[in-house]
Chains A and B, each alone.
Chain A
């Protein structure tokens, strides 16, 4: 029931402030397939990021909490520039034009993938935006967050560092 309440609150997107993180830890399950075009028209899959910890964020330009957390994802990317981390943002079920209109207002250095028909959104069973998956370097889902957070601090950073530590000990 708690998850249902969260779903509805996120769906409305009325929360004024960024909420406290509430990551769910998963039992290292293999990630669903990801197949999407990037802004240059190249097909991207998870294999492109193998060997790296991946922050895979599902978002949309009409979703205020999604946009609020974007700057912290960019700060995370800059902070982790020399480390095996990929930040990837997949726009859910919007047109290229809608995505471009948003990107003209915010400069982001991480890859943006497109999912105009929502097929990746459905394959990953994303019911609320933003939803973010933390994948380990072997492409397994380790943590899930429904809702926004500040990605370069707090619980998010602790979890990302723990996944990066696994890479360095391999």
Chain B
């Protein structure tokens, strides 16, 4: 009986602590004016992504790298991304905005869903201060052959600037206009860039091309280029 009482007490304390904390992220501090929030995809954070974060920090861009499936002890599935608490993501975004730096978010694949849901919970003035880079976002509820696609309603994104990075060699490329239209319907201001000669997840491919290997090593440069070309200030 005493054991059960201690067990329950422990669970309550752990649950409270988990609710009170921001998601567990890895920080790469830098002195520059920019802060990049990096949300890894459902399969977790890969070494080339960490390497890019280190290189960005070396170039003056602070990075907070979030591996959400690991932080929340979730299985490596797209549905895990849908299960992340939007309020926690909003708190994370607010903490970043509170740093006083120019904040950009970079989310890969289904990680776009929780960061967009978090952004939807922000005040419009807060949302307007964010830029969001989404690498081949997966915003579908249903995408079934011979049927019209259906998209997730992640909430009000008015004022949010979103840039989709779409590898050309992807089954999703012909469907990019639909995803952009959906983001616009939710109030975001979307734009996009096609990444030529690349496949989705090119930095973790089992049989990468020479170009994909080279681009994996240049991810920091690609992200900086997109932030600057896009005019994300």
Contact = CB atoms under 8 A, between A and B. Distances in A.
B140 A4 contact: yes
Interface residues of A, number: 35
Given A32-B146, A62-B199, A127 B172 contact: yes
Contacts of A12: 43, 200-201
B204 A125 contact: no
A97 to B, nearest CB: 12
A42 interface: no
Given A93-B174, A122-B174, A8 B78 contact: yes
Interface in A107-153: 118, 121-122, 124-129, 131, 133, 141, 144, 146
Contacts of B199: 13, 62
Given A4-B78, A5-B78, A12-B201, A144 B146 contact: yes
A33 B142 CA distance: 22
Interface string B180-208: 00000000000000000001110011110
B216 interface: no
30 contacts: A3-B142, A4-B78, A4-B143, A5-B78, A7-B140, A8-B78, A8-B109, A10-B171, A11-B171, A12-B43, A12-B200, A12-B201, A13-B200, A14-B204, A14-B205, A16-B206, A62-B199, A64-B207, A92-B171, A92-B174, A93-B173, A93-B174, A125-B147, A125-B149, A126-B171, A127-B175, A128-B143, A128-B171, A141-B146, A146-B145
Interface of A: 1, 3-5, 7-8, 10-14, 16, 26, 29, 32, 60, 62-64, 92-93, 118, 121-122, 124-129, 131, 133, 141, 144, 146
The 5 closest A-B pairs by CB, nearest first: A118-B174, A62-B169, A127-B143, A129-B171, A8-B78
Given A7-B143, A11-B136, 15 more contacts: A5-B77, A5-B78, A5-B79, A8-B42, A11-B172, A14-B201, A32-B146, A60-B171, A62-B199, A118-B174, A125-B144, A125-B149, A126-B145, A127-B149, A144-B146
Interface of B: 42-43, 77-79, 109-110, 136, 138, 140-149, 169-175, 199-201, 204-207
